[in-house]
Amino acid sequence: MKKILLFAFLISVSFATQAQATTGLTKTAWLTNNTGKVMQAYPNPATDQVIIQHVSSPVTAVMSVINSNGRVLQQHTVVPNTLQTTLHIGLLDNGIYIVRFEAARGDIRTLQLVKK
């Protein structure tokens, strides 16, 4: 049983290494962008603009900036097949916001953004 588990682990590590080599992405970026488990913002906190790394969507997706009261303050169309979007937040008040990414297939992801 231990040999089978070790073999499965080695195969998965080998597959991840091959995927990194073919896509030219680092391990962190590969795990973040191709599996879609995480959405990241940098810099966070931000003052004027923030770059959101997200999963790729084959069709147009929508990214929204929402305040603590649930009001949508900004909506942006995400270009299909991209892995990041830049948001201009310079006109927003200082505070904490939710960035919501919604793909056409119903995939919804959120993250917390601090504007200073």
Taking only the tens place, the pLDDT of each residue in 7-25 is 333 334 343 434 444 444 3
Q: In what order do the strands lie in the sheet with 49-53?
A: 40-42, 49-53, 84-88
Q: Under a CB-based contact definition with an 8 Å cutoff, are residues 61 and 84 in contact?
A: no
Closest to 39 measured CA to CA, from 111, 112, 114: 111
Residues 61 and 81 placed together within one structural domain of the fold: yes
Residues 73 and 98 placed together within one structural domain of the fold: yes
- What does the alpha-carbon distance between residue 17 and residue 22 come to, in Å, rounded to a whole number? 9
pLDDT greater at residue 102 or residue 1: 102
Residues 9 and 61 placed together within one structural domain of the fold: no
What confidence tens digit (pLDDT) does each residue in 45-97 have?
Answer: 999 999 999 988 888 899 999 999 999 999 999 999 999 999 999 999 999 99
Residues 31 and 41 placed together within one structural domain of the fold: no
pLDDT at 37: 52
Burial tier of 98 (Cβ tally within 10 Å: 0-12, 13-18, 19+): middle
What is the value of pTM for the model shown? 0.67
Residues 18 and 43 placed together within one structural domain of the fold: no
DSSP state of 116: -
pLDDT at 57: 86
Angle made by CA atoms 89, 62, 44, in degrees to the nearest 5: 35
Average pLDDT over residues 20-40: 46
| Residue 99, number of CB atoms within 10 A of its CB | 24
- Residue 97 lies in domain: 37-116
Residues 45 and 90 placed together within one structural domain of the fold: yes
What confidence tens digit (pLDDT) does each residue in 69-80 have?
Answer: 999 999 999 999
Residues 29 and 9 placed together within one structural domain of the fold: yes
Residues 23 and 49 placed together within one structural domain of the fold: no
Residues whose CB is less than 8 angstroms from the CB of residue 111 and which lie 6 or more positions away in sequence, other chains included? 39, 40, 41, 52, 98, 99
Residues 81 and 49 placed together within one structural domain of the fold: yes
pLDDT greater at residue 111 or residue 35: 111
Total domains in the fold of the chain: 2
CATH number for 45: 2.60.40.3080
